[in-house]
A = this chain, B = another copy of it.
Amino acid sequence: MKPTIRDVAKMAEVSISTVSRVMNYPDSVVESKRKRVMDAVQKLQYQPNAFARGLIFKKSFTLGLLIPDIENLYFAGIIRGMQDACIKLGYSLMICNTDRDKERLLSYIDNFHEKQVDGIVFASDVLYPEYYDKLVGCRIPFVLLSSHTYDYEIPSIEVDDEAAAYDAVKFLIELGHKEIGMIGFNHDNSIAGPPRYEGFIRALTECGLEQNIGKIRYANHRFEHAYEAAHELFTAYPELTAVFCVADEFAMGTISYLKDRNIHVPGQVSVVGFDNLRMSSMFIPKLTTIAQPIYELGYRAAEKLHELLVTGSVAILRERMDHRLIVRESSREK
């Protein structure tokens, strides 16, 4: 049996209130008794029961994190950042991987509700009304990470996807490329799809390269789909000399396809990715990519959620973090 506060009280020959006070406000107990109590705690390896405390405080000191795909390295970085922030702020972290499954996500929210997490970070997914209603119904505060919504007043934190995409495409244009395609996210089930598309379009129009506007194929988050999409893209537009991929994994899929077709990267085609995963500098060739501050996004999301929990609101509702272009080996002047 785990020792309880009663056992400690008995051993130290004081009341349980005194033990509780020693644990929480040591100064309010006179030295002699305090020592007796602390010795007993030591000897019994006593640890207050989190259930009993939770019952009283109505807090679990636990945060929930909802991610779409744990096998995507992007989220590994998010987790590291968020976990470090949680340690600093005194929270535990509960991670749930939804595999992009609506039912599953909803049931995880129930789970979080039952476990009484204090708040949730909702990462990289569209906040559908069902999700919103459930979250609000459960009265669980939450923030959006690498996502946002204008339908509700929900705190969010992300990079400026439109501007980042613009920078990537602008970079290709400045290298002298005139025939530029894109491998994008499907618009209907991804939050980053539309803004990155917009950035692509804006860069093209600004530079008078409107003829490229339709040269896009869409893929579904994974390498294999990007490989397929690249196949379709280059079959339809063999003239392309550069491709903007809205994810590093897409860039890898694209390069893999080009390699199988004996098209040299960056010799014949330049490829720019997005995210700057740890893998990007391991790939051959090393990827030129838009770096997101992944770790910091996770860290900041936890801080922001904490702010929301403590003060009931948040200083900056829709927060943006900076991206930057990292030039490596998958791009070259035309």
Residues in chain A within 8 A of chain B (CB atoms): 2, 45, 47-52, 54-55, 58, 60, 62, 70-71, 73, 76-77, 79-80, 83, 92-97, 99, 110-111, 113-116, 137-139, 223, 249, 252-253, 255-256, 259, 278-279, 282-284
Q: Knowing A55-B55, A83-B96, say if A110 contacts B256 (CB, 8 Å).
A: no
Q: Which residues on B sit within 8 Å (CB–CB) of A79?
A: 70, 95, 97
A73 CA / B278 CA spacing, docked (Å): 11
Other-chain residue from B55, B73, B77, B95 in contact with A93 (beta carbon distance below 8 A): B95
Q: Which residues on B sit within 8 Å (CB–CB) of A55?
A: 49, 51-52, 55
Tell me whether B62 and A70 are in contact (CB under 8 A).
no
7 contacts between A and B (CB under 8 A): A49-B55, A49-B116, A71-B77, A92-B111, A93-B95, A223-B282, A259-B284
Tell me whether A114 and B48 are in contact (CB under 8 A).
yes
Tell me whether B47 and A138 are in contact (CB under 8 A).
yes
Q: Which residues on B sit within 8 Å (CB–CB) of A256?
A: 282, 284
Tell me whether B110 and A47 are in contact (CB under 8 A).
yes
CB distance from A289 to the nearest CB of B (A): 15
Q: Which residues on B sit within 8 Å (CB–CB) of A48?
A: 114
CB distance from A141 to the nearest CB of B (A): 13
A62 CA / B223 CA spacing, docked (Å): 33
Q: Knowing A71-B73, A76-B70, A279-B279, say if A47 contacts B113 (CB, 8 Å).
A: yes
Q: Knowing A282-B223, A283-B283, A284-B259, say if A80 contacts B97 (CB, 8 Å).
A: yes
Tell me whether A114 and B73 are in contact (CB under 8 A).
no
Tell me whether A76 and B83 are in contact (CB under 8 A).
no
Tell me whether A50 and B116 are in contact (CB under 8 A).
yes
CB distance from A180 to the nearest CB of B (A): 23
Other-chain residue from B70, B114, B278 in contact with A80 (beta carbon distance below 8 A): B70
A2 CA / B115 CA spacing, docked (Å): 13
Q: Which residues on B sit within 8 Å (CB–CB) of A278?
A: 71, 223
Q: Which residues on B sit within 8 Å (CB–CB) of A49?
A: 55, 116
Q: Which residues on B sit within 8 Å (CB–CB) of A282?
A: 223, 249, 252-253, 256
CB distance from A150 to the nearest CB of B (A): 26
